[in-house]
Amino acid sequence: MLDKLMRKKTAMSEGLLSDRIANVKRGQIPAHVAIIMDGNGRWAKQRNLPRIAGHHEGMKTVRKITRIANDLGIEVLTLYAFSTENWKRPKLEIDFLMKLPGEFLSTYLPELIEKNVKVEMIGNVEMLPEHTKKAIRKAMEATKDNDGMTLNFAMNYGSRLELVEALKKIATLVEDGLLQVDDIDDSMISSHLMTAHLPEPDLLIRTSGEVRLSNFMLWQLAYAELSFTSVLWPDFDEACMIHAMEEFQLRHRRFGSVEGEGTI
């Protein structure tokens, strides 16, 4: 009886979710969604589990959200998986985190290929352990000709490091006489970032209740809409993603301009 009731309830909420998905699809879908996947440790702590259990659960959310993002027609999904500051964590936790790309990609690569998803990475790949590099490179190679959604992992990524490197490259061009100082503008800086080939994020989501950027895409997020939720990453699901889309569609983006015409 209870089981039947539960099934009915699940079917009902799934029905509602598909209505909401259909509705969201009629509106404007952000081309680039970036997510700071936070709260794995707290999710585990709430259950008296080690932090790594939270990271493992969080990997399942990555699959869920990749799927729905693809279904929604999002062009680029950037997931902040490991920051340049996360090296400060205990070695065992880091070792586990470095194994996740391999586990994720060995399990889901066939599905990503089938869905025409292109896997990319931003961040400093050189500092990653060999097995992590190998897994990421394999996935990137296997999906390089796909022209569906880009699934972009920010791995060993830090926005300040990215900016420092970009500025060094630009300074070298000036030093070598290949560029004038006056040629440096917005688009020149953007074109020297790791995201040069991607549109800027339209929507940033951060889970876990923290309201900060933690060194994530500081330049690229200049005009992104921000969505903060207290839901912990392992609990973030399709309904949460749809909620963020609904929220986005209610926002009025002005990019510094004024809304409507004829305003004095």
User: 70 catalytic, yes or no?
Assistant: no
Tell me whether residue 206 is annotated as binding.
yes
Q: Which is nearer to Mg ion, 80 or 248 (CB)?
A: 80
- Exactly one of 3, 19, 23, 38 is catalytic; name it: 38
Note whether 100 binds ligand IPE by CB under 6 A: no
Q: Give yes or no for a contact between 220 and 226, defined as CB atoms under 8 angstroms apart.
A: no
**CA–CA separation, 7 vs 227, rounded Å?**
32
Q: Quick one: 118 or 206, whose CB is closer to Mg ion?
A: 206
38 as an active site residue: the answer is: yes
**Long-range CB pairs of 89-98, under 8 A, 24+ apart, other chains included:** 92/52, 93/51, 93/52, 93/55, 96/52, 96/55, 97/55, 98/128, 98/129, 98/131, 98/132
Site string for ligand IPE, 30-59 (x = CB under 6 A): ------xxxxxxx-----------------
125/142 with CB nearer ligand IPE:
125
What's the rounded Cα separation, in Å, for the pair 150 and 119?
A: 6
Taking the least distance from each CB to Mg ion, the nearer of 38 and 57 is 38
Tokens of 199: 């549109």
Contact status: 108 vs ligand IPE (CB under 6 A)? no
Distance CA 78, CA 66 (A): 10
Count of residues that interact with Mg ion, criterion CB under 5 A: 1
- Residues 24-83 binding Mg ion (CB under 5 A) are 38
- What is the total residue count of the chain? 264
DSSP characters over 179-222: S-GGG--HHHHHHTSTTTTSPPPSEEEE-TT--S-TTS-TTTTT
Residue 37 contact, options ligand IPE, Mg ion, none, Cβ 5-8 Å cut-off depending on partner type: ligand IPE
Residues with active-site annotation? 38, 86
Annotated binding-site members for Mg(2+)? 38, 225
Annotated binding-site members for substrate? 39-43, 51, 55, 83-85, 87, 89, 206, 212-214
**Would you tell me which residues interact with Mg ion (CB under 5 A)?**
38
